[in-house]
């Protein structure tokens, strides 16, 4: 299967600890997104990469959150000094390069990392 892969699937941590999640997008996709989702809500945008460049970051995103995408391949999302409010599903999505015509923003999502902060 060459879909979007996220690791780990589940993470339980204590408040104040740092956690890091990894996302491996579909290989030919140059665009990568991170979202956060809590129960009963739709995904909330966190940040966006085009190749290795982080082009957008949600203004709601605390400075405890940082994301990287070295070499424009896999990406990591780190949360420092976790808080109970950080408990959520963290979703990664990727999409292929624009085809030059109209919009074709079709995102391919991974299965997410479920974070529980105790």
Partner 1 sequence: LAKTTQPISMDSYEGQEVNITCSHNNIATNDYITWYQQFPSQGPRFIIQGYKTKVTNEVASLFIPADRKSSTLSLPRVSLSDTAVYYCLVVADSNYQLIWGAGTKLIIKP
Contact residues: partner 1, CB under 8 A: 4, 31, 33, 35, 40-45, 48, 55-56, 58, 89, 91-93, 102-112, 114
Shortest Å, Cβ 111 to partner 1: 5
Cis before 8 (ω within 30): yes
- 35 strand-pairing partners: 45, 91
Shortest Å, Cβ 81 to partner 1: 25
Q: Which is nearer to partner 1, 62 or 104 (CB)?
A: 104
Shortest Å, Cβ 103 to partner 1: 5
- 19-24, strands of its sheet edge to edge: 5-7, 19-24, 75-79, 65-68
Shortest Å, Cβ 20 to partner 1: 19
Q: Which is nearer to partner 1, 18 or 55 (CB)?
A: 55
Q: Which is nearer to partner 1, 31 or 69 (CB)?
A: 31
CA gap 41, 39 in Å, rounded: 6
Angle, CA 28 vertex, CA 115 and CA 32 arms, to 5°: 35
Q: Which is nearer to partner 1, 18 or 68 (CB)?
A: 68
Angstrom CA distances, 73 to 18, 27, 116, stand at: 23, 7, 27
């Amino acid at each position: 299967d060459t879909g979007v892969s996220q690791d780990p699937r589940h993470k339980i941590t204590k408040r104040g600890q740092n956690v890091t999640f990894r996302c491996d997008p579909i290989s030919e996709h140059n665009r990568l997104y991170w979202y956060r989702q809590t129960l009963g809500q739709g995904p909330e945008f966190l940040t966006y990469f085009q190749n290795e460049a982080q082009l957008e970051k949600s203004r709601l995103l605390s400075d405890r959150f940082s994301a990287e995408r070295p070499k424009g391949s896999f990406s990591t999302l780190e949360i420092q000094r976790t808080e109970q409010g950080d408990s959520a599903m963290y979703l990664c999505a990727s999409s292929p390069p624009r085809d030059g015509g109209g919009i074709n923003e079709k995102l391919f999502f991974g299965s997410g990392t479920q974070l529980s902060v105790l």
